[in-house]
Chains A and B, each alone.
Chain A
Amino acid sequence: MKKKKINELTRVQNVLENDRLNVGKGFNELLANDLNKLFKDYFDFSGLPELKIDKENGVYRVVVSLNVSRVRAFNILPDEK
């Protein structure tokens, strides 16, 4: 029963957070994919960047976290086309 209550709490929390952010469904996934493409030019890593978006007093706060195994050297950055 405790599990059910925690699920209900998490559900309410998720609904409220989505409402507060006012972003469409799939927004996080889309942004994570774009950031993935960008970060790949600079770092070696596996998996997608993790995103945490909050809205407080009308201001969005975006935190991106990523476990990086190596920082790429500048000379291996792709040339601009």
Chain B
Amino acid sequence: MARKIVITSGKGGVGKTTVAVNLGAALADMGLRVALVDVDFGLNNVDVVMGVEKKVVYDLVDVVVGRCRLKQALVQNEKRKNLYVLPSGTENTANMVTGQNVKLVIENMNVMFDYIFIDSPAGIDVGFHRAVSCADEAIVVATPNLTSLRDADKVVSILKSYKLNSVGLVVNRARGDLMLSDKMMMPSDIQKLLKTELVGVLPEEDVVFLSSGYGLPNKSDSAKAYKLLAQNLHKNTRKIYDATGKYLGFFGSIRRNIKRSI
């Protein structure tokens, strides 16, 4: 049985899709079979972030209406053979798909995968509920600022009504240098504010932008943070990436000063 996890946030632009894709890739590197289901109709980007957009022939809507079989719509990642994407349709086809339809498709993927990540659209309307209704667990992605935290708090409160097995918090775009100079909230503070268990912290890094979100260099801090997050999820450990680590000590303070001057 696959673990079905919805990646959500409330606010747009906090990095849901990037988190879904890289977390999927980190789990795939651990030898697990992973599928990413894009239910963000109209603003679908999982295929683009993963760089397989040219390989997309069929999508989720085609599977639902019976134009193709599920296996025909799944797009395999070239580098990681155990990582797949089920792309979503365009916006004008969103009305053809109900939460029940998507749930049925995902249920059919149960035996094929160990993890199924459902990339939820931003907001808390129909698309969000369609995504959450297909999942057993949720990961709420938030960035350390008021608007994101406010939306994340609303999402957490809505998720409670779904009685999911677990709701975890991922703090994205953490800047260790800003945290040490008290200009950014610490992930532990955010965890207390949202009353949700912290499962991962992901640093803000240029490599994420430069790689369009996917294909992070192995030695990058982001890759390490995603690896920890994947282990936390799979092994139920709670080793959280320390974004302040590289800014501590003598060399850390030099790094911090350089970053401040840029």
> A interface vs B, CB < 8 Å?
1-2, 4-5, 8-9, 11-13, 15-16, 19-20, 57
Contacts A11-B146, A57-B160; is A16 near B182 (CB within 8 Å)?
A: no
Nearest CB on B from A44, distance (A): 40
Q: Report chain B residues within 8 Å CB of A4.
A: 182-183
Q: Are A1 and B182 in contact (CB under 8 A)?
A: yes
Q: Are A19 and B182 in contact (CB under 8 A)?
A: no
B144-158 CB mask vs A (1 if < 8 Å, else 0) is 001001100110010
Q: Report chain B residues within 8 Å CB of A20.
A: 153, 157
Interface of B is mostly: helix
Q: Are A19 and B154 in contact (CB under 8 A)?
A: yes
Q: Are B150 and A19 in contact (CB under 8 A)?
A: yes
Task: State the 10 A-B residue pairs at the shortest beta-carbon distance, nearest first.
Answer: A5-B182, A1-B182, A16-B153, A2-B182, A12-B146, A12-B149, A15-B150, A9-B189, A12-B193, A16-B193
Q: Report chain B residues within 8 Å CB of A12.
A: 146, 149-150, 185, 193
Nearest CB on A from B195, distance (A): 9
Number of A-B contacts (CB under 8 A): 34
Interface size of B in residues (CB-CB distance below 8 Å): 14
Given A4-B182, A9-B193, A19-B150, 11 more pairs with CB closer than 8 A: A1-B182, A2-B182, A8-B146, A8-B185, A9-B189, A12-B149, A12-B150, A12-B193, A13-B193, A16-B149, A20-B157
Determine the distance from Cα of A13 to Cα of B189 in the docked complex, in whole angstroms.
Answer: 10
Q: Are B185 and A19 in contact (CB under 8 A)?
A: no
Determine the distance from Cα of A9 to Cα of B179 in the docked complex, in whole angstroms.
Answer: 13
B165 at the interface (CB under 8 A from A): no
Residue of B nearest to A1 (CB): B182
Determine the distance from Cα of A4 to Cα of B160 in the docked complex, in whole angstroms.
Answer: 32
Determine the distance from Cα of A17 to Cα of B157 in the docked complex, in whole angstroms.
Answer: 12
Residue of A nearest to B190 (CB): A12
Determine the distance from Cα of A15 to Cα of B181 in the docked complex, in whole angstroms.
Answer: 24
B126-162 CB mask vs A (1 if < 8 Å, else 0) is 0000000000000000000010011001100100100
Residue of A nearest to B146 (CB): A12
Q: Report chain A residues within 8 Å CB of B146.
A: 8, 11-12, 15
Q: List 14 A-B contacts (CB under 8 A).
A: A1-B183, A2-B182, A4-B182, A4-B183, A5-B182, A8-B185, A9-B185, A9-B193, A12-B146, A12-B149, A12-B185, A15-B150, A19-B150, A19-B154
Nearest CB on A from B132, distance (A): 18
Determine the distance from Cα of A57 to Cα of B146 in the docked complex, in whole angstroms.
Answer: 23
Q: Are A16 and B150 in contact (CB under 8 A)?
A: yes
Nearest CB on B from A21, distance (A): 12
Q: Report chain B residues within 8 Å CB of A2.
A: 182
